[in-house]
A and B are shown apart, each in its own frame.
Chain A
């Protein structure tokens, strides 16, 4: 989170309403966002969506399909280990 209290030479109150109370809702969202420093992405994708350029489409479903398939094997293993450890899978 950025220190928003850093003074700057021309900081002022002449414009009615200080920045900090302009948009309380927005400030909360900013705080939430800035907590995540691990975001990475191909910049071209961002540019085409943030601008009005006709996008190339997104590979979202195609990317997620293999991930979903991989999740199935993990879920099966988890289920087997869960049963073998003697933990009931349903309540009494």
Chain B
């Protein structure tokens, strides 16, 4: 049999749907259960299919858009969802219509126990009865195969593909392109109709007893460029001495999420990295994987070592404006296919190098991992990659020859902003005007200073035969001097480093969280670090739930602006780590308390970002409705907070 995808919310031209403008789906009120590269998004009753984000995903494909459970002809009424770590959840519903015992309390309930592993989703359904008679009914599951692409769904467009089904014993095998679903349901009648797979079990539940049935969806995709790593995690929660129970709860939840976000590349399944986040970014990102591994160093150096090796293998070797590749550059993003944007004729290459900071961050991760215990042999093997990074920082990283690392998209269809604040409106003046590129971000100069100094130390310690470390130190000292001359601005908010230099070398004068990344890098002197530390915990920057990306005094401030007023968990954590490194423990604890308050509100699964609203006006931070969760660097932020509150 062959089918398209009749249940979809598609708005493709040519369909009978009205020509409405598709919108990116919101995520904040959906439930996710995951083990990368597989994830299941549902409503709180466990059903999948009410919104565009719902579905079972494997890699960059949504393999099923719907999974609906009924008891007889009844829709169960959801009452609770209980997560079991990152990879499981139990949904509890009532089935009052078949209850019929005449009492006040509900006596029949359905438990849906969902478990996700890499390449499978298992749904165990248990109908429990507390009544005195046998319940004769059926359990029915409707599965809607889909095969839409992740990039289209993110744009609000369902572009599901044709599929074919082949019955097997206890189930059906569904295929579409390189993706295969093997749906098994022992004891059930399995049929297809209207583009859906219908699984039905007749069910007799004796008095005061339970009956369970199980559905398994096993997924394979031969085209995936990411796979589950071969090994299990070996890490344990770091021991800290704090009486604050929120720290331990956040650390435990973070480790579970980070475990579920581990991925590897097929050719080296023993080398793992942390996927950036669910749902959109289940792949390798240079910057994200490096920061997550760096924040995780108090727990393990293993992730850092393997992340460094993976990125080293993909280090740029040629000049290619299309992909922004340059010799020595560390990559930005890996996809199994070009990233296409429907309707725009846009394609980004599957290996994209449009990042100005990943190269310097790779070096700082190497240095920090070595200091944290990564073996000398493993570090030595990476010295050639280190050389390439340092060469890139000092030469191609500076597009216009002014001595600062900057970026400009030469193609017209790459990322306009190539720092961590990568949205189109992220770099703006205090009066709200957008800055013109090439942009030289302040924090990137800090990363570069730290990277070159740390690189020189590593080369001196482990040696590669070249006697040029003094030249490296001189370059860094010169960068520090020029930074002090070029970046500092004075506005009604005080004196601080500008967020960036624009195309005309003017300091873009908004007060931003970016300056928190400078702390501890060495590019500021002690007095300058004190000035920055004070500003970061002021009322315009510290919301009480963390560090705002942009000061409330800036014209462009908006609490739900992606990079212009929101709070990012990892951004706050980096500032906290910098405050600790620079000896400003009191300020570090102020921001840590903000994150802990937010973490409690988010049930200790910190999203990528949330509102910059002040905690004294809102009892709980407003979600940014498109924020990924879990997000690797948000989870790993727990360890920066743990360090700060136990220092």
Residues of A near any B CB (own CB < 8 A): 2-4, 6, 8-12, 14-19, 21-23, 25-26, 29-30, 32-34, 36-37, 39-55, 57-65, 67-68
Question: What are the residues of chain A within 8 A of B624 when measuring CB–CB?
Answer: 54
What are 29 A-B contacts defined by CB distance under 8 Å? A6-B318, A8-B328, A10-B328, A14-B385, A15-B313, A15-B381, A17-B268, A21-B267, A26-B350, A33-B347, A33-B350, A34-B320, A40-B413, A41-B346, A41-B413, A43-B413, A43-B416, A46-B346, A48-B423, A49-B155, A50-B333, A51-B423, A52-B281, A52-B562, A57-B22, A61-B20, A61-B22, A65-B13, A65-B19
Contact between A12 and B384, CB atoms less than 8 A apart: yes
Residues of chain B in range 404-455 having any CB-CB distance to chain A below 8 Å: 409, 411-417, 422-424
* Pairwise interchain contact A59-B423, C-beta atoms closer than 8 A: no
Inter-chain contact B13/A61, CB cutoff 8 Å: yes
Contacts of B328 in A (CB 8 A): 8, 10
B331 to chain A, nearest CB (A): 11
Across the interface, which residues of A come within 8 angstroms of B323, CB to CB?
30, 34
A2 touches B155 (CB 8 A): no
How close is B629's CB to chain A, nearest CB, in angstroms?
11
- Contact between B267 and A55 (Cβ–Cβ < 8 Å)? no
Q: How far is the CB of B60 from chain A (nearest CB, A)?
A: 12
For the residues of B in contact with A, the DSSP-based class is loop
Could you give, for residues 381-403 of chain B, a 1 whenever the CB lies within 8 Å of some chain A CB and a 0 otherwise? 11111011001000000000000
Q: Could you tell me if B415 and A55 are in contact, using CB atoms closer than 8 angstroms?
A: no
Contact check, A15 vs B345: say whether CB atoms are below 8 A apart: no
Known: A15-B385, A43-B409. Is A23-B626 also a contact (CB below 8 A)? no
Contacts of B311-340 to chain A: CB distance below 8 A: 312-315, 317-320, 322-323, 325, 327-328, 333-334, 336-339
| A residues in contact with B348, CB < 8 Å | 46, 50
Q: Does B14 contact A (CB under 8 A)?
A: yes
Give the nearest-CB partner of B413 in chain A.
A41
Task: List chain A residues, Cβ under 8 A from B351.
Answer: 26, 30
Shortest Cβ distance from B613 into chain A, in angstroms?
17
Query: Quick one: closest B residue to A32, CB to CB?
Result: B338
Contact of A39 with B382 in the complex, beta carbons under 8 Å: no
Knowing that A15-B382, A23-B266 are A-B contacts, what are 10 other residue pairs whose CB atoms are under 8 Å apart, sorted by A's residue number?
A2-B318, A2-B319, A6-B327, A25-B223, A34-B320, A41-B341, A41-B413, A53-B626, A57-B22, A57-B24
* Complex Cα–Cα for A12 and B23 (A): 46
From A29, A47, A64, contact of B422 by CB (8 A): A47
CB distance from B279 to the nearest CB of A (A): 10
B309 at the interface (CB under 8 A from A): yes
Once A19-B317, A34-B320 are accepted as A-B contacts, the answer to whether A58 and B415 lie under 8 Å apart by CB is: no
Cβ contact within 8 Å between B223 and A51? no
- Chain A residues with CB below 8 A from B20, complex form: 61
Query: For residue A43, which residues in chain B have a CB less than 8 angstroms away from its CB?
Result: 409, 412-416, 424
**Bound Cα distance from A43 to B344, whole angstroms:** 10
Give chain B nearest CB distance to A18 CB in angstroms.
8
Q: Which residues of B contact A41 (CB under 8 A)?
A: 341, 344-346, 412-413
- The reply to whether the CB of B63 lies closer than 8 angstroms to some CB of chain A is no
**Is B349 close to A, CB under 8 A?**
yes
Please give me the residue from chain A that is nearest to B178 by CB atom.
A25
Question: Which residues of B have CB within 8 Å of A32?
Answer: 338
B12 at the interface (CB under 8 A from A): yes
CB contacts (< 8 Å) of B423 on chain A: these are: 47-48, 51, 53
**Cross-interface CB contact of B314 among A19, A33, A48, cutoff 8 Å:** A19
B225 on interface, CB distance cutoff 8 Å? yes
A47 to B142 Cα, complex, angstroms = 37
**Top 8 closest pairs, chain A to chain B, by CB:** A60-B343, A12-B384, A64-B13, A41-B346, A54-B626, A10-B387, A55-B24, A53-B562
Whether A23 contacts B267 in the complex (CB less than 8 A), given A60-B22, A68-B14, comes out as yes
Query: Are B424 and A44 interface neighbours, CB within 8 A?
Result: yes
A45 to B562, CA, bound (A): 15
B225 touches A23 (CB 8 A): yes
- B425 CB → nearest A CB, Å: 8
Report the Cα distance A9→B318, complex, angstroms: 12
Q: B627 on the interface (CB 8 Å rule)? A: yes
Cβ of B240 within 8 Å of any chain A Cβ, yes or no, is no
B504 proximal to A (CB < 8 A): no
B546 to chain A, nearest CB (A): 17
Contact for B338 among A33, A45, A61, CB less than 8 A: A33
Interface residues of B in 584-636 (CB under 8 A from A): 608, 624-628
Q: A55-B23, A60-B343, A68-B14 are in contact. Are A49 and B151 (CB under 8 A)?
A: yes
**A45: B residues at CB distance < 8 A:** 341, 344, 346
Contact of B327 among A8, A34, A46, A62 (CB under 8 A): A8
Shortest CB-to-CB span from A49 to chain B, Å, is 5
Residues in A with CB closer than 8 Å to B412 are 40-41, 43
Q: Please give, as numbers and ranges, the residues of chain A lying within 8 Å of B277 by CB-CB distance.
A: 52
